């Protein structure tokens, strides 16, 4: 199971003792330390550790305390979803959530969507609907485009009814799981109207369009299944014998993927990415190797991997994630590749806060958070050096330090897989967020440099314009 979460840190040697302390506090009816609880849940857990964190999550759900955001989640499907409940609790702890999952009666989709009764008998924060095509009525004879169109419209009608029922009965949005890929008979299935493969693709696009329009939210089960591999994701024996929609052994991974979406919905996704420089954005050490000696660009496979990672980081910025630099280096030397290296994609204007000095990383990350006006929990950190990662985890447990490893070829996979940057459908405010945080940081630097508050206000050169409506 430890390979399910390669972006998490390895299991600590004293992990069991730390969990025992938290369990004792919870047994007394109190909420243990928030950061410590997140830390033990957010490690590369094996099967035994997974079960222990699931039990801890159940206990914490009955206690009172601050820090964790409580989520009441309804599970609705035409297959068995009970295997998800406990893993969702464990996954929530790793992301600052206390998730209580409530499963609707088996195959209760129609009853929830079209009857007056609320089968959950409570208010909820979200209803997760995991359906397969057997719940989406409509005949689809092969090559019949009209029938296929009508089947997709019927699927949309069912989704709309579920979304409306969620709003009216539980006061919350519906989250629809996309349909995972199927095992195809031929490569022509996607081009064949009425085929299962083509129908699933069209339904997923319909769900995506509905999410973009704000009608519901979406959990992209299809993307996760594709990443894992459909042969591993789908267990035909369990599907037919226990009506389980995917491999039970993968429930912790599915739960973590769902929890990342719930964290985004709750405002707990990462808003800033703090980056080391040497061997993180380029190969080599700029202070030792010089501008011509660092490895970046099309001159090597390693250099291409760093360019790919920089391009990925720029994509995060386009989605509103603010970028910062935290490097043990002389400031002028650290900035040189951004200014002069022809293959650098990242430029100084992309970086909201540039902390390059000889202070320790934890001190600099605190300074970055202060300049951005963000809490430490909103920051994620990427560094190729395992010793630096461990020190930041120890001193700043609320900062999400991603276990990217030392090979840049895997940086994108680890950062994306972490789910820290999951988000709801984007809007124009999201796209402008990175620039707005950059403005905050610039103002903070001016204020620190000026010192006197009156002089600081004068330095902003603000002007007021008064005009009628």
Section 347-363 average pLDDT: 97
Least confident window among 13-17, 76-80, 168-172, 449-453: 449-453
Q: Which two tokens stand for residue 461?
A: 């050169």
Q: Are residues 171 and 286 located together in one domain of the fold?
A: no
Could you give the CA distance from residue 368 to residue 243 in angstroms, rounded to a whole number? 49
Enumerate residues 6+ apart whose C-beta is below 8 A from 285: 278, 279, 294
Section 286-294 average pLDDT: 94
Q: Are residues 197 and 343 located together in one domain of the fold?
A: no
Q: Are residues 343 and 310 located together in one domain of the fold?
A: yes
pLDDT the model gives residue 185 = 87
- Nearest Cα to 239, choosing from 394, 119, 134? 134
Q: What is the mean pLDDT of the chain?
A: 92
pLDDT at residue 3 tops 80: no
pLDDT at residue 455 tops 80: no
> Does residue 190 lie within any of the structural domains?
yes
pLDDT the model gives residue 1 = 40
Q: Judge whether 161 and 113 are in contact, CB under 8 Å.
A: yes
Q: Phi first, then psi: what are they for 339, rounded to 5°?
A: -90, -30
Q: Are residues 144 and 221 located together in one domain of the fold?
A: yes
Residue tagged 């309804």 (tokens) = 74
> Does residue 374 lie within any of the structural domains?
yes
Section 84-98 average pLDDT: 97
pLDDT at residue 444 tops 70: no
Supply the pTM of this predicted model.
0.91
**Other beta carbons within 10 Å of 391:** 16
Per-residue pLDDT band at 432 (split at 50, 70, 90): confident
Q: Are residues 219 and 85 located together in one domain of the fold?
A: yes
pLDDT the model gives residue 47 = 95
> Does residue 286 lie within any of the structural domains?
yes
pLDDT at residue 446 tops 70: no
Q: Are residues 404 and 383 located together in one domain of the fold?
A: yes
Give the single-character DSSP code of 106: T
pLDDT the model gives residue 438 = 67
> Does residue 118 lie within any of the structural domains?
yes
Q: Are residues 376 and 290 located together in one domain of the fold?
A: yes
How many domains are there within the chain?
Answer: 2
Among 265, 287, 319, which residue terminates a domain? 265
Q: Are residues 236 and 320 located together in one domain of the fold?
A: no
> Regarding predicted confidence, which is higher, 3 or 254?
254
* Residue ranges making up the domain that contains 203: 68-265
Q: What is the CATH number of the domain that holds 283?
A: 3.40.50.1000
pLDDT the model gives residue 133 = 86
Could you give the CA distance from residue 249 to residue 243 in angstroms, rounded to a whole number? 14
pLDDT at residue 33 tops 50: yes
Section 184-213 average pLDDT: 95
Section 374-386 average pLDDT: 97
> Does residue 60 lie within any of the structural domains?
no
For 104, 309, 365, the CA distances from 76, given in Å and listed in that order, are: 5, 38, 42
Section 185-189 average pLDDT: 92
Section 224-245 average pLDDT: 93
pLDDT the model gives residue 159 = 97
pLDDT at residue 442 tops 90: no
State pLDDT tens for residues 389-420. Answer: 999 999 999 999 999 999 999 999 999 999 99
Could you give the CA distance from residue 461 to residue 23 in angstroms, rounded to a whole number? 56
> Regarding predicted confidence, which is higher, 369 or 458?
369
Section 2-11 average pLDDT: 88
Q: Which two tokens stand for residue 449?
A: 């440099």
Section 229-233 average pLDDT: 94
Section 221-228 average pLDDT: 96
> Does residue 82 lie within any of the structural domains?
yes
Per-residue pLDDT band at 298 (split at 50, 70, 90): confident
Q: Are residues 250 and 292 located together in one domain of the fold?
A: no
Section 35-39 average pLDDT: 97
Q: Phi first, then psi: what are they for 325, rounded to 5°?
A: -115, 135
Q: Are residues 235 and 106 located together in one domain of the fold?
A: yes
Section 224-229 average pLDDT: 95
Least confident window among 23-27, 104-108, 151-155, 455-459: 455-459
pLDDT at residue 178 tops 70: yes
Q: Are residues 223 and 312 located together in one domain of the fold?
A: no
């Amino acid at each position: 199971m430890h390979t399910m979460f390669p972006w998490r840190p390895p299991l600590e040697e004293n992990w069991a003792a730390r969990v025992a302390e938290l369990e004792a506090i919870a047994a007394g009816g109190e909420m243990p330390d928030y950061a410590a609880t997140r830390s033990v849940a957010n490690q590369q857990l094996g099967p035994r550790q997974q079960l222990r964190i699931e039990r801890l999550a159940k206990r914490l759900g009955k206690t009172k305390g601050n820090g964790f955001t409580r989520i009441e989640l309804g599970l609705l499907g035409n297959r068995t979803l009970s295997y998800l409940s406990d893993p969702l609790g464990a996954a929530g702890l790793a992301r600052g959530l206390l998730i209580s999952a409530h499963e609707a009666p088996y195959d209760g989709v129609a009853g929830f969507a079209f009857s007056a009764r609320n089968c959950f008998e409570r208010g909820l924060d979200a209803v997760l609907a995991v359906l397969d095509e057997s719940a989406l009525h409509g005949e689809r004879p092969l090559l019949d485009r009209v029938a296929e169109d009508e089947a997709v419209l019927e699927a949309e009608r069912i989704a709309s009814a579920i979304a409306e029922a969620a709003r009216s009965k539980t006061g919350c949005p519906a989250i629809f799981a996309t349909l995972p890929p199927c095992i195809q008979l031929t490569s022509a299935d996607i081009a064949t109207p009425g085929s299962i493969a083509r129908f699933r693709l069209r339904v997923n696009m319909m769900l995506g369009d509905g999410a973009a329009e704000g009608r519901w939210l979406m959990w992209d089960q299809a993307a996760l299944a594709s990443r894992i591999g459909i042969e591993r994701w789908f267990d035909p024996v369990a599907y037919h014998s226990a009506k389980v929609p995917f491999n039970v052994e993968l429930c912790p991974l599915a739960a973590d993927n769902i929890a990342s979406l719930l964290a985004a919905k709750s405002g707990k996704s990462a808003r800033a990415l703090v980056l080391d420089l040497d061997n993180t954005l380029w190969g080599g050490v700029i202070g030792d190797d010089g501008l011509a000696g660092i490895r970046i660009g099309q001159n090597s496979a390693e250099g291409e991997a760093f360019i790919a990672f920089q391009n990925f980081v720029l994509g995060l910025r386009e989605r509103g994630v603010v970028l910062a630099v935290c490097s043990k280096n002389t400031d002028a030397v650290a900035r040189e590749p951004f200014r002069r290296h022809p293959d650098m994609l990242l430029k100084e204007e992309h970086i909201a806060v540039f902390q390059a000095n000889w202070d320790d990383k934890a001190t600099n990350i605190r300074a970055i958070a202060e300049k951005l006006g963000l809490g430490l929990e909103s920051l994620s950190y990427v560094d190729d050096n395992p010793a630096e990662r461990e020190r930041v985890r120890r001193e700043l447990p609320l900062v999400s330090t991603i276990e990217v490893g030392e090979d840049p070829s895997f940086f994108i996979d680890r950062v994306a897989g972490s789910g820290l940057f999951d988000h709801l459908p984007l809007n124009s405010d999201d796209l402008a967020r990175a620039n707005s945080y950059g403005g905050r940081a610039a103002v903070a630097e001016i204020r620190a440099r000026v010192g006197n508050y009156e002089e600081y206000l004068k330095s902003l050169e603000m002007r007021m314009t008064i005009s009628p409506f």
